[in-house]
């Protein structure tokens, strides 16, 4: 028996149910597979109810009212809806659709169990999901050697997918200014990374295909599993995760010699319909770059790229009508001006973005705009960009 030492009173029930599932799964016969599946689902459902019902000071965040919780406990989909609403930041590597599919399978086994079998691959898959969920919600983290790693290919698929999702999230934290909800769909996160030149569309296509095939395996519990197909999917997940880790490694290596630039404001024409900033651009570190492209950017500053030879007097300047309609910019706010520099280095285009606050003042007969204060540090190094 694998013993799990309870740490908090409210964790004992889900832990015991999971321990019970392990005992039956290890026996390796159809009856025990059914009992293990039911026990895993009971552990999942109890963990969700426990988490949602904990006092706010223990849970660390707001939770549903007792009335909403009581209304949801009789409907598992409603319970998952509440969890999605009140467990922000705790579900980033989980797909609640997987849990709902396995809960339906559990109901079939429980109510019509005679003669119905469940593939041990799916039992182990649900077990891996349950381990992550119980740890995320209640801190139920077994000792290192108490839970064996996944014992099936499908269980391995669950853990490898979760690992890849976490790697995508980590990449977003490193390269993106604005962090979205931790429950943002992983493909949406990849889209934002593509917009910022960190990933390419080929990576997205591969991830989309993997996700579609994964969902087929996870959600079609009545379809026989093809081991070769799952192994191919696991290999593809390994390759995608390796690609992301290489981006991090290349970034750490490149940072030592990466060219970086100073952008110093030298003058400003402040009239609203003739706003003209002047910045001197100079390189202060890294491999020497002879030529750059630059542009101002932000909701007030739409413009095309301009090309300059980099020297001691390189200046960025352009004139804007600040009364014009705003344009969308995902990296620069309405009260900011951005100066983006692009350069070709080590076989790839790189980009860095500098930003400052802007202010607007009304006078009796005119409106003035100004660049306020020092640069908003640090600059944003955007990595690779599309040519």
Task: Give the CATH number for residue 84.
Answer: 1.20.120
318: left (phi over 0), alpha (psi -120 to 50) or beta: beta
Q: 206 pLDDT exceeds 90?
A: yes
Confidence band (pLDDT; 50, 70, 90) for 2? Answer: very low
Per the structure, the count of domains in the chain is 3
Residue 107 lies in domain: 1-151
Residues 6+ apart with CB under 8 A from 296: 277, 303, 316, 318, 320, 337, 338, 339, 340
Boundary of a domain, candidates 207, 231, 254: 254
The share of the chain scoring above pLDDT 70, in percent, equals: 87
> 369 pairs with which residues across the strands?
360
The reply to whether 140 and 1 lie within a common domain is yes
Boundary of a domain, candidates 254, 281, 311: 254
The reply to whether 5 and 141 lie within a common domain is yes
Among candidate residues 253, 244, 260, the one with its CA nearest the CA of residue 350:
260
The reply to whether 226 and 141 lie within a common domain is no
Q: What is the pLDDT of residues 272-296, one digit of tens each?
A: 999 999 999 999 999 999 999 999 9
The reply to whether 139 and 55 lie within a common domain is yes
> 356 pairs with which residues across the strands?
337
The reply to whether 58 and 142 lie within a common domain is yes
323: left (phi over 0), alpha (psi -120 to 50) or beta: alpha
The reply to whether 230 and 362 lie within a common domain is no
Neighbours of 310 (CB within 10 A): 18
Q: What is the pLDDT of residues 110-157, one digit of tens each?
A: 666 555 677 788 888 888 889 889 888 888 765 443 445 556 788 888
Boundary of a domain, candidates 214, 236, 254: 254
- Identify the sign of the CA torsion 174, 180, 185, 187: negative
């Amino acid at each position: 028996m694998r013993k799990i030492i309870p740490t908090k009173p409210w964790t004992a029930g889900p832990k015991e149910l999971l321990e019970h599932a392990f005992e039956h799964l290890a026996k390796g016969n159809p009856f025990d597979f059914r009992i293990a599946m039911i026990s895993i689902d009971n552990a999942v459902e109890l963990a969700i109810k426990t988490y949602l019902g904990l006092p706010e000071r223990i849970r660390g965040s707001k939770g549903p009212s007792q009335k909403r919780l009581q209304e949801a406990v009789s409907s598992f989909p409603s319970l998952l809806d509440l969890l999605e609403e009140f467990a922000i930041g705790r579900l980033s590597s989980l797909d609640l659709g997987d849990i709902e599919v396995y809960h339906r399978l559990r109901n079939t086994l429980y109510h019509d169990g005679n003669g119905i079998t469940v593939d041990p691959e799916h039992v182990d898959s649900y077990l891996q999901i349950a381990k992550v969920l119980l740890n995320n919600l209640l801190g139920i983290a077994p000792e290192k050697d108490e839970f064996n790693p996944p014992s099936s290919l499908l269980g391995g698929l669950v853990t490898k997918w979760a690992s890849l999702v976490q790697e995508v999230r980590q990449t977003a934290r490193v390269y993106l200014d604005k962090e979205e909800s931790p429950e943002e769909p992983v493909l949406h996160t990849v889209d934002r990374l593509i917009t910022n030149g960190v990933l390419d569309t080929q990576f997205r296509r591969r991830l989309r295909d993997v996700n579609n095939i994964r969902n087929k395996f996870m959600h079609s519990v009545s379809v026989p599993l093809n081991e070769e197909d799952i192994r191919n999917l696991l290999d593809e997940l390994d390759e995608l995760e390796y690609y992301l880790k290489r981006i991090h490694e290349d970034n750490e290596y490149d940072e030592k010699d990466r060219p970086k630039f100073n952008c110093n404001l030298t003058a400003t024409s402040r009239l609203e319909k003739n706003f003209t900033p002047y910045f001197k651009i100079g390189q202060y570190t890294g491999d020497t770059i002879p030529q750059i492209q630059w542009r101002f950017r932000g909701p007030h500053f739409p413009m095309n790229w301009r090309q300059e030879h980099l020297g001691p007097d390189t200046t960025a300047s352009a004139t804007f009508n600040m009364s014009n309609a705003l344009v969308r910019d995902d990296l620069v706010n309405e009260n900011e001006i951005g100066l983006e520099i692009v350069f070709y280095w080590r076989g790839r285009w790189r980009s860095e973005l500098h930003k400052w606050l802007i202010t607007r003042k009304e006078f009796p007969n005119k409106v003035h705009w100004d660049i306020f204060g020092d640069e908003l540090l640090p600059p944003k190094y955007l990595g690779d960009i599309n040519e």
